[in-house]
Amino acid sequence: MAIIKANGVSIRYITGDFKDIGLKEYVVRRLQGKYQVKEFWADKNVTFALERGDMLGIIGTNGAGKSTLLKAVSGIMVPTKGNMEINGSVAALLELASGFDGELTVRENTYLRGAMLGYTRKFMDEKYDEIIAFAELKDFQERPFKQLSSGMKSRLAFSIACLVSPDILILDEVLSVGDGAFRKKSGNKMKEILASGVTGILVSHSISQVRELCNKILWLDHGAQIGFTDEVTLYCDAYEEFLQTRKLPHNRQDVEQLAEDFARRCEEEKHQKQMTQTQKLETLLESSDTEAAVAASLALLKEKRPELLRDANA
């Protein structure tokens, strides 16, 4: 049985109705014949299914419909068309600062967020020290939440969501919070969580992060589904090339071509970098006045780039 299943999910926003302009302005515009309603489809006929332990990476440029889709998965929004089947408890980190009270302490907010996720006081008592330790906030437990930096707030939100063992974990650009050490720790924690059978959805502009953590990919563009697949490397390569060329694929052949172009471009960039390094080394050798410097350079070439020495002797 699928843990998450989206069946032709489409989500529409309506702008210009009386909820936006107020009742008085609505009546005036209706009387004048100037009342207009505009529709905007954030997601259009999105379909995918995830099994236990899957990690889905949702990729796409800004405005692709990624965050809106996450809100449908987490139950915040109801699809305009289609339906979303969810089998399990959900912990969603969509807006990291939401659900916290700036006037309460870190300790109080930890229990508050836990309650919002549906966990008992007893359960939170057992997990509290672990949450604070992972968030690296041991010295800030009695400090008002509003005094924390944005990075600290993000670390706490991530720690609570990860350490309360949900069935489904939804992450929207949250593995990029904190310094390099915490990002590495967050990534390792995600791998540990997935190994335990939790199903995850990750939205991230870091394609390397998607490559490392995800076994399935959903590519969206302006609400439309470009592809849903377990061919992570192929689609990540194609997407990275799309970011350079803005050539949107329309079929499988286009995806493969983009991936080939990406591989070719990477190889050319690598070659160019190697040529630059070679030129620097040649300059060093030409300007060197001592045999020791020349010997050191040759030793470095022998270790790092032996093919250059072979070419020189040919």
Tell me: the pLDDT tens digits for 54-70?
999 999 999 999 989 99
Do 236 and 288 reside in the same domain of the chain? no
Residue 40's alpha-carbon distances to 11, 13, 14, 43, 84, in angstroms, are 9, 5, 6, 9, 20
- Cβ burial of 52 (10 Å; 0-12, 13-18, 19+) is middle
Contact 3, 87 (CB under 8 A): yes
| pLDDT (0 to 100) of residue 281 | 62
| pLDDT number for residue 91 | 78
Residue 257 lies in a domain: no
Domain end marker among 192, 225, 248: 248
Whether 193 maps to a domain, the answer reads yes
Interior angle at CA 278, CA 272 and CA 282, nearest 5 = 145
Question: Does residue 220 have a pLDDT over 70?
Answer: yes
Clarify whether residues 105 and 231 are in a common domain: yes
Residue 295 pLDDT greater than 90, yes or no: no
- Residue 254 included in any domain: no
Whole-number mean pLDDT of the chain? 85
| Together in a domain, 191 and 300 | no
Identify the band that residue 161 occupies on the pLDDT scale cut at 50, 70 and 90.
Answer: confident
Per the structure, the complete domain to which residue 266 belongs is given by: 262-313
pLDDT in tens, 9-56: 999 987 765 566 667 777 777 777 777 777 889 999 999 999 999 999
Contact 110, 155 (CB under 8 A): no
| Residues recorded for the chain | 314
- Note whether residue 273 is domain-resident: yes
pLDDT of residue 144: 95
> What per-residue confidence (pLDDT) applies to 105?
96
Domain-terminating residue out of 248, 278, 302: 248
Residue with tokens 């109801």: 78
Say yes or no: 23 and 146 in one domain.
yes
Q: Who has greater pLDDT, 218 or 287? A: 218
- Pairing status of strand 199-203 against strand 168-172: parallel
- The HSE-up count of residue 142 (CA atoms within 13 Å, CB side) is 0
Question: Which of 248, 283, 302 delimits the end of a domain?
Answer: 248
Residue 175, pLDDT score? 64
Q: For 172-206, how does the pLDDT look when each residue is reduced to its tens digit (9 = 90+)?
A: 876 665 567 777 887 788 778 878 888 999 998 88
Q: Residue 13 in 3-state DSSP?
A: strand
* CATH at 166: 3.40.50.300
Q: Does residue 147 sit in the same domain as residue 82?
A: yes
- Give the pLDDT band (50/70/90) at residue 80: very high
Do 286 and 159 share a domain, yes or no? no
Q: Would you say 214 and 57 are in contact if contact means Cβ atoms under 8 Å apart?
A: yes
Q: Is residue 284 part of a domain?
A: yes
Six token digits for residue 11: 């989500």
Task: Please indicate, yes or no, whether residues 266 and 137 belong to a single structural domain of this protein.
Answer: no
For 125-142, the pLDDT digits (tens) are 999 999 999 999 999 999
Q: Is residue 287 part of a domain?
A: yes
Considering only CA atoms, which of 191, 192, 213 is closest in space to residue 202? Answer: 213
The answer as to whether 256 is a domain residue is no
- Residue pair 9/86 in contact (Cβ under 8 Å)? The answer is no
242/267 same-domain check: no
Q: Check whether residue 234 and residue 268 sit in a common domain.
A: no
pLDDT at 4: 96
Q: Is the pLDDT of residue 292 over 60?
A: no
Q: What is the pLDDT of residues 206-216, one digit of tens each?
A: 899 899 889 99
Q: Which of 57-61, 73-77, 309-313: highest mean pLDDT?
A: 57-61
Asked, for residue 253, whether it belongs to a domain, the answer is: no
pLDDT at 116: 79
pLDDT score for 169: 87
Q: Report the domain count for the chain.
A: 2
- The string of pLDDT tens digits covering residues 240-279 is 999 999 999 999 999 999 999 999 999 998 888 777 766 7
Amino acid (1-letter code) at residue 9: V
| Whole-number pLDDT of residue 312 | 58
Closest CA to 134 of 147, 152, 116, 109: 152
pLDDT at 286 over 70: no
Q: What pLDDT does residue 239 have?
A: 97
Out of 115-119, 215-219, 249-253, least confident range: 115-119
Contact by Cβ (8 Å): 136, 179 = no
Give the pLDDT confidence score for residue 192 in this predicted structure: 83
Q: Domain check: are 152 and 178 in the same one? A: yes
Contact 186, 158 (CB under 8 A): yes
Do 184 and 108 share a structural domain? Answer: yes
Q: Which regions of the chain does DSSP assign to beta strands (E)?
A: 4-15, 38-50, 55-59, 81-86, 90-93, 168-172, 199-203, 216-221, 224-229
Residues 304 and 223 placed together within one structural domain of the fold: no
Sequence-distant (6+) residues with CB within 8 A of 127 are 114, 119, 163, 164
Instruction: Give the list of residues 6+ apart from residue 100 with CB closer than 8 angstroms, or none.
Output: 109, 112, 113, 145, 153, 157
Looking only at Cα atoms, what is the longest distance across the chain? 93
Q: Contact at 8 Å (CB) between 77 and 9?
A: no
Give the rounded percent of residues in the chain with a pLDDT score beyond 70: 84
